[in-house]
Structures are given as structure tokens and as C-alpha cells.
Copies of this chain bind each other. A is one copy, B any other.
Amino acid sequence: MRVEIWSDIACPWCYIGKARFEKGLAAFAHRDEVEVVHRSFELDPNAGGPSGLPVVRHLADKYGLTPAQAEAAEARVAETAHGEGLGYASGRLMNGSTFALHRLLHHAKRQGPAAHAALLDALYSANFAELLPLGDPETVVSVATGAGLDETEVRRVLADQDAYAEDVRTDEREAAALGATGVPFFVLDRRFGVSGGQPAEVFTQALEQAYAAAGGLVQVGADSGVSGQQHSSDACEDGACEVPAHRREDAS
């Protein structure tokens, strides 16, 4: 079974949702059969450099809240994060575009699942718990090498705007094709979707539902007699290739 998780480093619900998903997964009996793949999504593809604006100010502007209301809303998110055992400090600033972070995550993915997982957690922690300025390349180098990546490689990826850019865009196109408008966006075996950082039990339930449905593939072409022929035997099984019955007769 395969779970794809689209998220953005700048998204607190992605940070919280990841922890909740992992709890939901831990409670799922067949967790060892689940492959988890994190994919890229930019909340704001048009974000430029870091604006330096406090996040609460941005929230207030966007939703027409008073400063006190925005502070209270952000405090509620922080409380939820703390409830999941996550670090979450107040006073975060807008760090600008996350495109380079996603490119770097794709680079880490090439180094293997452990390298990718380490970088993802390090970036979330840097953004929400440590309030590091992730719009600054030197900060990103420091976080990435702290997560075990090779410094020369990290600098090469950050300096080359095209490095892994197509991988990020492919992820984003696929999210759009699947109907995602926000993140976190969880897709199980391309059949079931969960939107938002929902409680752990919702993820367990989704995993159970997807597991029950798994393997029930709709067969296309098998025994369907395209051009009047039998094609389902054109396969190899059990240590050798089958010799289709009608061919065996031909050969005799």
C-alpha cells in the first residue's frame, strides 16, 4: 500500500498533520506494508524572497482579523502542535518562497528514504520550533548538513535553480490533477484522499479502508479478446514463461 503526502514546509497543518498521520499509521495493523512518499506543494508559488512580515500580521491581513484575533488563532495552532508533542514557537516570520526547499527535498530523496525523512523533519523543526530564517540560503545549508547531507552537494543544488525543479513541478501537477487545493493532502493508493491535518484516528480509518480495497484492480485487456486473440497468457509465471495453449498447438 502506498500513501502520498503533499505538503509545504511553510504550512503548520502539514507539520501537525505529519505527526498525526504517523500516529495513525502506528496504530494500523498492517503498517509494515505501507510505503509513505512525501511530495512537494507550494502554498504560494508566487512568493518571492522573505518579506520579514510576522505570520500573524499576514493572517490578520488575509482574513480581516484584528491583531488580537490573529494572535489567538496562531496560539491555538501552537497549542495543537504542542498537544502532538511538537515544538512550536511564537513570533514566526514569513520566509518567502519554499521552492528551493522542495528542490532540496527531492535531492535528499535521491539519497534514500532516511536522508529525505531527516531533512523533512529538520526543515519543519527549523521553521516552526526554531524560527530559523529559511529564506536565507546559508541557514538552509546549515539545516541540511545538520540533517546529514553533503555540504558541497547542498550548495550545488541551492545554486542551480533548475536542479530538481521539474520534480517539484511534477509533484504539483499531480496534486492538481488529484483535486488538491490545499495541504496537507494525503492520497492512499490513488483511491482514497484525506484533506487536512486530521486526528490520528481518521488516518487509521483511511488506512483500513484503503487496505480493504487494495488488490481489487479492475483488469483491462485480460481475456478481453482484442483482435479475437487470447492475450492473457503472454506472461511469465512461476520460474518460466508460459507457452500459450494455442501456440503449443501450433508448434506440435
Q: What residues make up the interface of A, taking CB atoms closer than 8 Å to B?
A: 1-2, 8, 10-14, 16-17, 33, 35, 43-44, 46-47, 58-59, 62-63, 65, 68-70, 72-73, 76-77, 110-112, 170, 173-174, 177-179, 181-185, 187-199, 201-203, 205-206, 209, 214-215, 217-222, 224, 226-227, 231-243, 247-248, 250-252
Alpha-carbon distance between A238 and B183 when the two chains are bound, in angstroms:
10
Copies in the complex: 2
Alpha-carbon distance between A237 and B239 when the two chains are bound, in angstroms:
51
A197–B234 CB distance below 8 A: yes
A194–B222 CB distance below 8 A: yes
Given A110-B111, A190-B190, A198-B231, 11 further pairs, Cβ under 8 A: A11-B236, A13-B234, A16-B234, A44-B238, A47-B239, A62-B239, A63-B248, A184-B235, A192-B219, A193-B217, A193-B220
